[in-house]
Chains A and B, each alone.
Chain A
Amino acid sequence: DAGVTQSPTHLIKTRGQHVTLRCSPISGHKSVSWYQQVLGQGPQFIFQYYEKEERGRGNFPDRFSARQFPNYSSELNVNALLLGDSALYLCASRFASVPYNEQFFGPGTRLTVL
């Protein structure tokens, strides 16, 4: 069974542009969470989606948005990119939106904003 997949693996953008990152969860998993990891820091929670609805949101500006599709894959969109958005973006999936479900992480998308 394939694990969590993310695309693209690397991305370079310039300030002001927008970006779309994609995540496919493990088959059967209905919950997807997005995290931002700035170099040298632990990941920070951005969004959680379950059954196509937003279930949780971290302390990120409205430039960050996401959605989940009927097949439970998800997209993270970031508008008006800033230099500070340069980070590793991680997607994690789990079966349900409950705290005691183990989360499985994808390899991440490394975004560089110039």
Chain B
Amino acid sequence: KNEVEQSPQNLTAQEGEFITINCSYSVGISALHWLQQHPGGGIVSLFMLSSGKKKHGRLIATINIQEKHSSLHITASHPRDSAVYICALSGGGADGLTFGKGTHLIIQP
């Protein structure tokens, strides 16, 4: 079973700060997903990575397959970025995603 560790669990920062959230896993994967969940429950897919780096607006996601590690970066953070950010893994089978416990991010104005 793949173990997913996210850090930090909670993060409070000031508006404008550069944010980094980390995800480490124990077993090889097919793809890694970064997801955003707002209060009320809805989950939005931010990125799906199998190698390298992806950028969308102020969000950047990187993955190092050899080190089994991924990071999600938020540049010029804004209060509307406040949410829970979840790392999830796709294995090779049909067993759905394996989720981390999430990082609760609060951006203060």
Name A residues whose Cβ lies closer than 8 Å to a Cβ of B: 33, 35, 37, 41-48, 50, 55-58, 88, 90, 92, 97, 99-100, 102-108, 110
Q: What CA separation (Å) do A107 and B35 show in the bound complex? A: 13
Tell whether, in the assembled complex, residue A108 and residue B42 are in contact, meaning their CB atoms are under 8 Å apart. Answer: yes
Q: List 27 A-B contacts (CB under 8 A).
A: A33-B96, A35-B96, A42-B86, A42-B99, A42-B102, A44-B99, A45-B96, A45-B98, A56-B95, A56-B96, A90-B43, A97-B94, A99-B91, A99-B92, A99-B93, A100-B30, A100-B90, A102-B45, A102-B48, A104-B45, A105-B35, A105-B43, A105-B45, A107-B40, A107-B41, A108-B42, A108-B43
Segment 37-70 of B: residues with Cβ below 8 Å from A: 40-45, 48, 50
Tell whether, in the assembled complex, residue A103 and residue B97 are in contact, meaning their CB atoms are under 8 Å apart. Answer: yes
A48 and B45 in contact (CB under 8 A), knowing A41-B101, A100-B31, A100-B50?
Answer: no
Among candidates A41, A42, A46, A108, residue contacting B41 with C-beta atoms closer than 8 Å: A108
The binding surface of chain A is classed by DSSP as strand
Chain A-chain B contacts (Cβ-Cβ < 8 Å), number = 76
- Cβ of A44 to closest chain B Cβ, rounded Å: 7
- Across the interface, name the chain B residue whose C-beta is closest to A109: B41
Instruction: Report, as a range, how many residues of chain B touch the other chain.
Output: 20 to 34
- Cβ of A61 to closest chain B Cβ, rounded Å: 17
- Measured between beta carbons, the chain A residues less than 8 angstroms from B30 are 99-100
Tell whether, in the assembled complex, residue B45 and residue A103 are in contact, meaning their CB atoms are under 8 Å apart. Answer: yes
- Cβ of B41 to closest chain A Cβ, rounded Å: 4
Tell whether, in the assembled complex, residue A103 and residue B92 are in contact, meaning their CB atoms are under 8 Å apart. Answer: no
Chain A CB within 10 A, most for which of B44, B86, B90, B91: B90
